[in-house]
């Protein structure tokens, strides 16, 4: 019998990660679920098994170096190999730069989860992939790095750093069978986006559909998964960044005002 296909998904206790896990389970994958909350991981594992896959839970704080290396060792001991690592865990803060001038910890906390935790786990699993001569690493990012978006400087800086790392990894290890995908999500209806109350009135991608984007990244392994609008905006920022910024950012401010009015009207 051939070896099972093994995927590791971080941030798997809810939202996009949980949906991707269930969908990969339906395709027969062995899914290793990583997050801090053991009880919620157990619920997702049950969904994966109900869908026909195998699921294994690994509660872990990926900002902790010792825990991360221990969980990587446990996964390899349990399964022998990892075919795909999905770095999906994330944290976001919506705050202006002006309001963050005395809050450097905002950037430090977001980088700890979005960037350093992802790199820490990637480095822990890469040697086994290199030894096998194949492996794929997926990085969840955001369409907002493709468009000039205000108020999310800490979040976008961390995701931009992650994207640069993904490109470097591909450039250095592609000839050794290690490939990468960056997934540029639009706004997705998850607990993380729900933390910003005005976004309740904003149309968003469903977590189920977003999970499908991660599944595409795992199975098809393109260099990126994005929307047409995201790809066009990214090209525009490469050619005319100043013009695009002047056009887009006033529209975003107007959108925030509309959302705030809708929120106020809904609460009256």
Distance CA 137, CA 115 (A): 14
State the DSSP code for 28. T
Both structure tokens of 91? 């944290």
For residue 257, what are the CA distances in angstroms to 4, 38, 92, 254, 264? Answer: 50, 39, 21, 5, 11
Catalytic residues: 155
Alpha helix stretches (DSSP H) within the chain: 15-26, 38-50, 65-79, 104-111, 117-132, 153-173, 191-194, 207-219, 228-239, 241-267
Helix, strand or coil, per DSSP, at residue 195:
coil
Cβ atoms of 25 and 53 within 8 Å: the answer is yes
Pairing of the two strands 224-225 and 6-10: unpaired
| Angle at alpha carbon of residue 53, lines to 49 and 59, rounded to 5° | 65
Which has the closest alpha carbon to 41: 26, 25, 60? Answer: 60
What is the CB-side half-sphere exposure of residue 52 using CA atoms within 13 A?
Answer: 6
């Amino acid at each position: 019998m051939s070896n099972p296909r093994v995927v590791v998904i971080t941030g798997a206790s809810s939202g996009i990660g949980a949906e991707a896990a269930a969908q990969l389970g339906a395709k027969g994958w062995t899914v290793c679920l990583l997050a801090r909350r053991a009880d919620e991981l157990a619920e997702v594992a049950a969904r994966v098994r109900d869908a026909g896959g195998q699921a294994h839970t690994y509660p872990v704080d990926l900002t902790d170096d010792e825990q991360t290396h221990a969980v990587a060792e446990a996964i390899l001991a349990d399964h022998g190999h990892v075919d795909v690592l999905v770095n999906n865990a994330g944290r976001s803060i919506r705050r202006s730069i002006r309001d963050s001038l005395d809050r450097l910890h905002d950037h430090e906390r977001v980088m700890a989860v979005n960037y350093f935790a992802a790199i820490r786990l990637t480095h822990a699993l890469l040697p086994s992939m290199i030894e096998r001569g194949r492996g794929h690493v997926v990085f969840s990012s955001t369409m907002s790095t493709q468009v000039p978006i205000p108020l999310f400087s800490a979040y976008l800086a961390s995701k931009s750093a992650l994207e640069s790392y993904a490109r470097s990894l591909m450039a250095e290890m592609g000839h050794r069978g290690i490939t990468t995908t960056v997934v540029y999500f639009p706004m997705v209806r998850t607990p993380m986006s729900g933390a910003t109350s005005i976004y309740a009135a904003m149309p968003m991608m469903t977590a189920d559909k977003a999970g499908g984007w991660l599944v595409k990244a795992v199975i098809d392994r393109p260099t990126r998964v994005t929307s047409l609008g995201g790809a066009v905006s990214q090209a525009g920022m490469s050619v005319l960044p100043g013009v695009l910024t002047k056009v887009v950012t006033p529209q975003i401010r107007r959108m925030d005002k509309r959302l705030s009015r809708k929120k106020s009207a809904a609460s009256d």
